[in-house]
């Protein structure tokens, strides 16, 4: 089932530290950009 | 360089053949140097642009050129049907590619604020820390430099530190800054850009360890890049003033978009370098772009003319340090033992996301995977002809500004870049068929 495959994929992404490190850095960058405006 | 054609159709082997490994390492290192030339050369067309246009608008127009190049170049080289094939194998990487594109756009905008607040001499060395951060992530997350031995460690880390010191000297020499104001914010912006770029290499490495083709990765990367840049430009400038500025800039649209196109060719070499030698080696090597930018500035645009002896000694020492660092890294290619730890990092990715083992291994080894080669589709021809036509149209409206430019040096540097492009393209074709 494709939906099962995507659910598994998103679960794997959500528990992958490799995703959260760049994502947190991106949020930090956007926050900093907002301060600089 | 060693670009001996390898048996492309060989089946996956438990251990990568030593000759094949050497061939891929040499290819990656050559791509790193070619990336430096093309990324540095991308600055040249932008120097032809009137400084009255706002930096955000310049960035946005460049990214439009980048977007077109990131779709038309893969269409020209292999055809976009390969992108679909990669997508079916590793759909999760789309998210990483878009994330990396968003990071690039935010980092690029931060550099504009950094230069404005603290000047290039302070800002550049700060954001150039991205290669040191890249090495850190490569070691911690992807097992790069594991079992490498102290000589390789010294070569890579010492080379990166040398390049960092050289970059600092070059930035100091080439800056024409006024007294800095808002220093703390400028330093924060420059450091922020360095952290964003250094961390952006996590998605890069992840994609290439999993076996994705760089030509596929960049097509999704640019979606994040363009969407973020449009959002930033609209929120900073407003739709009407932004459109007004773009229309008024029609005479320089070609130069800006050409800068974006040239930049993409450099970035593509950087992606292949990351794929075949990892981020700890590929990123510092492509940071030699500063040397090429300096060559264009001094020889073609007569920058630093009438400079003091101190300035020239800074330029010479900085260039020598950067070149020495790059050579140290180039001579520290991965051994078979280190490569085996890359494979275990790749296996982790494959297991986590349920990717076919053969796809991961074939990607790492630059081999074919799956069925026969796909031919180009109507979409590919539309992208190639459409982009060529648009660039032709913009070129017809472009005006060369009245500037003191030495065209003979511009031709010589362009010829050197083209030679690297042809040599790199042939090596990639012969060794991996652009995989």
Within-domain flag for B8? no
Please report the pLDDT score of residue B8 as a whole number. Answer: 39
> What is the least distance, in Å, from the CA of B232 to any CA of chain A?
10
Within-domain flag for B12? no
Taking each helix axis as running N to C, give the angle between helix B18-41 and helix B309-330, from 0 to 180 degrees, rounded to the nearest 10. 160
**What's the domain range around B215?**
18-432
Mutate to test the interface with A, among B106, B144, B184, B233 (most CBs of A within 10 A): B106
Within-domain flag for B6? no
In this complex, the residue of B188, B202, B352 whose CB is nearest that of residue A21 is: B202
> What is the least distance, in Å, from the CA of B388 to any CA of chain A?
34
Within-domain flag for B101? yes
- CA dist., res. B86 & res. B94, Å (int): 10
> What is the least distance, in Å, from the CA of A22 to any CA of chain B?
6
A chain contacts of residue B91, beta-carbon cutoff 8 Å? 6, 9
Burial B239-275 (b: 16+ CB within 10 A, else e): eeebeebbeebeebbbbbbbbbbbbbbbbbbbbbbbb
Please report the pLDDT score of residue B135 as a whole number. Answer: 86
Binary contact (A28, B203; C-beta < 8 A):
no
Within-domain flag for B4? no
In this complex, the residue of B91, B196, B236 whose CB is nearest that of residue A29 is: B196
pLDDT at residue A3 is higher than 80: no
Please report the pLDDT score of residue B176 as a whole number. Answer: 54
- The residue in chain A having the minimum alpha-carbon distance to the alpha carbon of residue B96 is A19
Please indicate if any CB of chain A lies within 8 Å of the CB of B136: no
Number of folded domains that form chain B: 1
- The residue in chain A having the minimum alpha-carbon distance to the alpha carbon of residue B233 is A37
Please report the pLDDT score of residue B399 as a whole number. Answer: 81
Please report the pLDDT score of residue B75 as a whole number. Answer: 93
B chain contacts of residue A25, beta-carbon cutoff 8 Å? 103, 195-196, 199
Please report the pLDDT score of residue B337 as a whole number. Answer: 84
> What is the least distance, in Å, from the CA of A27 to any CA of chain B?
9
User: Is the complex ipTM more than 0.90?
Assistant: yes
Tens-level pLDDT at each residue, chain B (435 residues): 343 444 334 444 455 678 888 899 999 999 999 999 999 888 788 777 766 788 788 889 989 999 999 999 999 998 888 888 888 888 889 999 999 999 999 998 888 888 777 766 667 777 777 888 888 898 889 888 888 888 888 888 888 888 888 888 877 776 654 445 567 888 888 889 989 999 999 998 899 888 889 999 999 999 999 999 999 999 988 999 999 998 888 888 999 899 899 999 999 999 999 999 988 888 888 888 878 888 888 888 887 777 788 888 888 888 888 888 888 888 888 888 888 888 888 898 889 888 888 888 888 888 887 766 677 889 999 999 999 999 999 999 888 777 888 999 999 999 999 999 999 999 999 999 888
In this complex, the residue of A12, A32, A33 whose CB is nearest that of residue B353 is: A12
Within-domain flag for B13? no
Instruction: Please write the tens of the pLDDT for every residue from A9-25.
Output: 889 999 999 999 999 99
CB B99 within 8 A of CB B252: no
| Angle ∠(A28,A31,A37) on CA atoms, nearest 5 | 140
pTM of the model: 0.87
């Amino acid at each position: 089932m494709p939906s099962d495959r995507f659910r598994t994929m998103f679960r794997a992404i959500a528990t992958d530290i490799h995703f959260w490190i760049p994502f947190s850095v991106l949020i930090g960058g956007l926050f900093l950009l907002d301060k600089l405006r | 360089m060693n670009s001996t054609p390898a048996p492309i159709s060989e089946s996956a082997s438990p251990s990568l053949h030593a000759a094949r490994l050497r061939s891929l390492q040499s290819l990656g290192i050559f791509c790193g140097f070619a990336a430096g030339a093309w990324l540095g050369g991308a600055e040249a067309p932008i120097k032809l642009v009137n400084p009255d246009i706002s930096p955000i608008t310049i960035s946005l127009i460049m990214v439009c050129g980048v977007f077109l190049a990131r779709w038309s170049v893969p269409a020209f080289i292999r055809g976009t049907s390969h992108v679909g094939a990669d997508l079916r194998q590793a759909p999760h990487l789309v998210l990483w590619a878009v994330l990396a594109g968003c990071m690039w756009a935010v980092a690029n905008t931060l550099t504009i604020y950094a230069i404005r607040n603290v000047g290039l001499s302070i800002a550049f060395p700060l954001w150039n820390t991205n290669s040191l951060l890249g090495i850190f992530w490569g070691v911690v997350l992807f097992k790069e430099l594991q079992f490498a031995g102290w000589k390789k460690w010294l070569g890579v880390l010492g080379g990166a530190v040398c390049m960092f010191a050289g970059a600092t000297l070059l930035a100091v020499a080439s800056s024409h800054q006024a007294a800095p104001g808002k220093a703390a914010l400028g330093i924060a912006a420059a450091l922020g850009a360095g952290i964003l770029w250094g961390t952006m290499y996590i998605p890069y490495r992840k994609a290439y360890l999993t076996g994705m083709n760089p030509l596929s990765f960049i097509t999704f990367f640019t979606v994040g890049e363009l969407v973020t840049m449009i959002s930033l430009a609209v929120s900073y400038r407003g739709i009407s003033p932004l459109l007004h500025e773009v229309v008024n800039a029609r005479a320089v649209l070609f130069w800006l978009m050409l800068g974006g196109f040239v930049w993409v060719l450099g970035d593509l070499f950087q992606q292949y370098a990351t794929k075949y030698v990892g981020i700890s080696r590929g990123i510092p090597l492509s940071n030699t772009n500063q040397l090429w930018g300096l060559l264009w500035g001094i020889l073609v645009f007569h920058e630093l003319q009438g400079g003091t002896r101190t300035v020239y000694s800074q330029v010479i020492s900085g260039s020598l340090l950067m070149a020495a660092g790059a050579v140290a890294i180039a001579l520290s290619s991965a051994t078979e033992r280190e490569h085996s730890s890359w494979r275990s990092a790749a296996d982790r990715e494959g297991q986590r996301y349920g990717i076919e083992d053969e796809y991961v291994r074939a990607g790492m080894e630059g081999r074919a995977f799956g069925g026969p080669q796909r031919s180009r589709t109507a979409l590919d021809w539309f992208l190639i002809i459409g982009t060529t036509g648009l660039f032709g149209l913009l070129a017809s409206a472009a005006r060369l500004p009245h500037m003191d430019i030495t065209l003979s040096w511009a031709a010589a540097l362009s010829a050197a870049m083209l030679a690297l492009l042809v040599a790199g393209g042939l090596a990639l074709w012969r060794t991996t068929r652009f995989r």
